[in-house]
Amino acid sequence: MLLLRPRCALLPRTLHSYTSQQQRTLLTLAIESSCDDTAVAILTHCPPSTQLLFNERISSDNRAFKGVHPVITVQGHNSSLAPLVQKALQHLPDASTSSPTIRIPTRHGSLLKQRPDFVSVTRGPGIMANLAVGLNMAKGLAVAWDVPLVGVHHMQAHALTPRLVRALNQRPGPEFPFLSLLVSGGHTQLVHSTALTKHQIVATTGDIAIGNLLDQTARVILPPEILDASPDVMYGRLLESFAFPTEDYSFFEPAASRSDEITPLPTGYEWTIPLPFRNTRRLAYSFSSIHTHVHRIAAANPTMCVDQRRSLARHTMRAAFQHLCSRLILALEDRPELRPAAQTIVVAGGVASNKFLMHVLRETLRVRGYPDVEIVVPPVKFCTDNAAMIAWTGMEMFERGWCSDLGILPVGKWPMGMEGGDGDGILGVGGWLRRQK
């Protein structure tokens, strides 16, 4: 029996590419399964042209638990991933004489399609069992097709999403260096990115992530009928639409100084929601105090009217988003070496789709002396977890000569930041192989 192995398994460190990437289009199939979304994408890239041929995701149904349940999500991946991959294969480019081909079975026979040049997959960070479902599928495809595997860092992919969006529109950038606000259900980080694999964490959350805060506070703020009608457990989106049904943000006034920022804002009710870390310039995030304040307010006012609930929703988001911006401004004031990168600020992750966050960020930068900063935000469909960002990050890593050993394992906690030399951060985990371009 002949066992086919991908190129990345043939040599332990330096690998030979079998075709010059500069002379042809690169094609990858990508898989994302780090949390509750099962996603698959197919991407082609040959500068200046980039095309997303397929990009779909299926979310597991966690509504009965009002939050992400690990058992339900891994069951969702196991039931959804194979059919989604099968569907994606139909969208591979048709076979050509210049590219290796694979045969795709169909109900009426088979299709001859171009073989992907490599398989991209989320390796971490995320829920270990969920990551394993996607990683094992990707390994199987890499072996069957005799192509390399690229294990992708999930948060690196979020940070690079604006580069994907620009590439799809045949536009360059954003170029390194830049600052990123990575805001999702699992992460809240201010990142200084100087190169593809060189990122430094300027500030990170020491407790819960901002997306988790919004989802959990929404459960006690939103009227029961709105919660019950939700199609998923992403309650943070509902909180935004409930707080601002007409997208009128006039209630918010940006803090023009540090003194204004730390002064509690009146709400019209007996309660207030103060900013975390308002008495320190520490470069870190913390959202647990907002979580505690909101839950205490809700418990003390079980019969809140709609107007009071709406005010609580607005001030919850106002405190959380001002806290994000406060640490950004402090970083620019206290660490002047970050200012050149601050010409561009990338905002990515699920919470990046929140329009009120964008308003707070723009207004705060304006009044604090940074009116010309370019804020780059992906379209909503690329803010949440998706396989397109995994495909693009895999593409950038592959073009720089990186791929992964077939023996790699999922990485639940995978620091993105570099604390020392090249052995830290994204390249700090084992299993990377260097191709010879």
CATH number at residue 425: 3.30.420.40
Residue 296: inside a domain, yes or no? yes
Contact 387, 40 (CB under 8 A): yes
Q: Are residues 283 and 414 in the same domain?
A: no
Residue 394: inside a domain, yes or no? yes
pTM over 0.85: yes
Pick the last residue of a domain from 382, 401, 417.
382
Q: Are residues 37 and 143 in the same domain?
A: yes
Q: Are residues 186 and 144 in the same domain?
A: no
- Sheet containing 14-16, strands listed edge to edge, beginning at the edge strand earlier in sequence: 14-16, 432-436, 402-404, 149-153, 118-124, 26-32, 37-46, 49-59
> DSSP strand E in 126-236: where?
149-153, 178-183, 188-195, 198-204
What tokens does 37 get? 């979304």
Pick the last residue of a domain from 382, 398, 418.
382
Residue 12: inside a domain, yes or no? no
Task: Kindly give the confidence (pLDDT) of every residue in the chain, 437 residues in length, as a single tens digit, with 9 standing for 90 and above.
Answer: 233 333 333 333 444 443 444 557 899 999 999 998 999 999 999 988 999 999 999 988 888 887 788 899 999 999 999 999 999 999 999 998 888 999 998 888 889 999 999 999 999 999 999 999 999 999 999 999 999 999 999 999 999 999 999 999 999 889 999 999 999 988 999 999 999 999 999 999 999 999 999 999 999 999 999 998 888 878 899 999 999 999 999 999 999 998 888 888 889 999 999 999 988 999 999 999 999 999 999 999 999 999 999 999 999 999 999 999 999 999 999 999 999 999 999 999 999 999 999 999 999 999 999 999 999 999 999 998 999 999 999 999 999 999 999 999 999 999 888 765 444 789 999 999 998 76
Q: Are residues 370 and 242 in the same domain?
A: yes
Contact 120, 150 (CB under 8 A): yes
Residue 256: inside a domain, yes or no? yes
Which positions ≥6 away from 351 have C-beta within 8 Å?
183, 184, 185, 210, 211, 214, 236, 357, 383
What tokens does 118 get? 């490599």
Q: Are residues 286 and 359 in the same domain?
A: yes
Q: Are residues 233 and 105 in the same domain?
A: no
Residue 14: inside a domain, yes or no? no
Q: Are residues 390 and 330 in the same domain?
A: no
